């Protein structure tokens, strides 16, 4: 059962009371991420997330780290392309402490210039660590090329150059513009009472005023790209992708079913064919990144360089098979059950419930309940899935990227012709 209160300044508080647990999870969700960063500010959303943990007017960085750990709780945060979340999980009896700590970080962080310079080095090391992980790096590089200089394609961490250019002045400017009441959702789930939570949060979050509701850049137009990046690695990392769907698209549920059948788990077609039947890869999967107004559907595989062409051909053949013949009734029924089970099992934890409340309220301006999701999934037909495959996977929209040793480039037009796309 969800309850929602709109504070006078526009901050939204949304809760779910769960009486049978002894814990509570609280998240502060801000509608600001890397797609909100203009030139010269790349990486600042993630950097601010780091700086919130570097000391406040009332607590040192160490005191923040120890505050909730001392009572067995957790304190953490994460940044995405479209939002940032600061969250805590504690015993219900320690909720007041969690509210106090998160409020302290949100309103009283010092952003000390010496700490800013020190943290720049930390984030740059994080960027270098990421660049040493080609199976992760390829997704960011692919997005950057496909979205062609649009902020949505920029890496969340920023670049070494952009991080070096950040200053306290830029941080305060970004906070003023984006950490505004209209852009903040506070979600709480667990053994709590809505009225108590609102009463405890209101003194902290009910009166501040700055900035305004986010204004998004225009929707990016995805390019079709071929990019073969040379890197001295043991594996060849492969990514095939097409423009995807925005969060409100009517085909989003049919797309989820298609994605699951194609490469969403151990029983998926790609996993069974490429790994189990042919033994060509350890990691192979598909995914769909959904944003407010667009999306990106991609298939990833990591394989021995000598098997590059065979793996790409196998992916294209499987896609063409689904594009022409669709899916079976058995696959549809099984996948609906799989998604439904995963959805409900994921909600066993109060943290997951808190995340669902915060994310859906921030992105849809309402809570998207599990029951509503299941109801829409159940309405998807074989014809719906076939339609969405045809809509997304068109020959002229297929982009390819490989990251690995030289000498294994692919002639994409020939690959498409060989696999029935011509």
Q: pLDDT, tens digit, for every residue of 28-64?
A: 999 999 999 999 999 999 999 999 999 999 999 999 9
Angle at 45 between CA 140 and CA 298, to 5 degrees: 25
Give me the pLDDT at residue 219, please.
Answer: 87
Q: Is 411 helix (H, G, I), strand (E, B) or coil?
A: coil
Give me the pLDDT at residue 409, please.
Answer: 82
Give me the pLDDT at residue 213, please.
Answer: 67
pTM of the model: 0.95
Q: pLDDT, tens digit, for every residue of 264-295?
A: 999 999 999 999 999 999 999 999 999 999 99
Tokens at 314, concatenated: 């196998």
Q: Check: CB of residue 95 under 8 Å from CB of residue 26.
A: yes
- Quickly list H helices, 271-422: 308-325, 329-346, 350-364, 370-378, 382-392, 412-418
Tokens at 14, concatenated: 């949304």
Instruction: Give 36's DSSP letter.
Output: G
Q: pLDDT, tens digit, for every residue of 64-103?
A: 999 999 999 999 999 999 999 999 999 999 999 999 999 9
Look up tokens 């000391």; give the residue: 55
Question: Is 49 a residue of the active site?
Answer: yes
Measured distance CA(355)–CA(333) in Å, rounded: 28
- Given the residues 16, 37, 49, 119, select the one marked as catalytic: 49
Measured distance CA(297)–CA(292) in Å, rounded: 15
Give me the pLDDT at residue 100, please.
Answer: 98
- Rounded to the nearest integer, the mean pLDDT of the chain is 95
Measured distance CA(109)–CA(51) in Å, rounded: 8
Give me the pLDDT at residue 176, please.
Answer: 93
Q: How many H helices and E strands in the chain?
A: 16, 11
Residue 422 has pLDDT above 80, yes or no: no
Q: How confident is the model at residue 149 (pLDDT cuts 50, 70, 90)?
A: confident
Q: How confident is the model at residue 411 (pLDDT cuts 50, 70, 90)?
A: confident
- Which contacts of 368-373 are long-range, i.e. CB under 8 A and separated by 24 or more positions? 369/2, 370/343, 370/344, 373/253, 373/343
């Amino acid at each position: 059962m969800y309850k929602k209160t709109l504070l006078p300044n526009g901050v939204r508080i949304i809760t779910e009371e769960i009486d049978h647990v002894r814990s509570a999870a609280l998240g502060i969700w801000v509608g600001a991420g890397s797609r909100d960063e203009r030139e010269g500010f790349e990486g600042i959303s993630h950097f601010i997330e780091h700086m919130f943990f570097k000391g406040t007017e009332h607590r040192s960085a160490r005191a923040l780290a120890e505050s909730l750990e001392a009572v067995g709780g957790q304190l953490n945060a994460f940044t995405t392309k479209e939002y940032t979340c600061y969250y805590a999980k504690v015993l219900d009896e320690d909720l007041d402490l969690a509210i106090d700590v998160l409020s302290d970080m949100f309103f009283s962080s010092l952003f000390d210039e010496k700490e800013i310079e020190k943290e720049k080095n930390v984030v740059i090391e994080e960027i270098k660590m990421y660049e040493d992980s080609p199976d992760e790096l390829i997704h960011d590089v692919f997005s950057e090329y496909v979205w062609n200089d649009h902020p949505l394609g920029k890496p969340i961490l920023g670049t070494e150059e952009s991080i070096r250019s950040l200053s306290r002045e830029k941080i305060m400017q970004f906070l003023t513009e984006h950490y505004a009441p209209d852009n903040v959702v506070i979600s709480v789930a667990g053994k709590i009472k809505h009225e108590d939570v609102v009463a405890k949060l209101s003194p902290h979050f009910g009166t501040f005023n700055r900035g305004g509701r986010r204004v998004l850049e225009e929707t990016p137009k995805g390019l079709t790209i071929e990019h073969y990046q040379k890197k001295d690695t043991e594996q060849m990392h492969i990514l095939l992708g097409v423009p995807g769907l925005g969060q409100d698209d009517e085909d989003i549920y049919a797309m989820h079913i298609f994605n699951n059948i194609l490469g969403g788990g151990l029983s998926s077609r790609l996993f069974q064919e490429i790994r189990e039947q042919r033994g060509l890869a350890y990691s192979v999967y598909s995914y769909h990144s959904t944003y407010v107004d667009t999306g990106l559907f991609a298939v990833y595989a990591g394989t021995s360089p000598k098997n590059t062409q065979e793996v790409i051909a196998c992916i294209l053949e499987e896609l063409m098979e689904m594009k022409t013949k669709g899916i079976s009734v058995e696959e549809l029924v099984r996948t609906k059950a799989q998604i439904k089970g995963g959805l409900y099992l994921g909600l066993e934890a109060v943290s997951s419930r808190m995340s669902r409340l915060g994310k859906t309220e921030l992105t849809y301006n309402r809570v998207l309940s599990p029951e509503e999701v299941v109801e829409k999934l159940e309405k998807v037909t074989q014809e719906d899935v076939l339609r969405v495959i045809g809509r997304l996977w068109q020959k002229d929209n297929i982009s390819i990227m490989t990251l690995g040793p030289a000498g294994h480039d692919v002639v994409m037009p020939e690959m498409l012709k060989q696999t029935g796309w011509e």
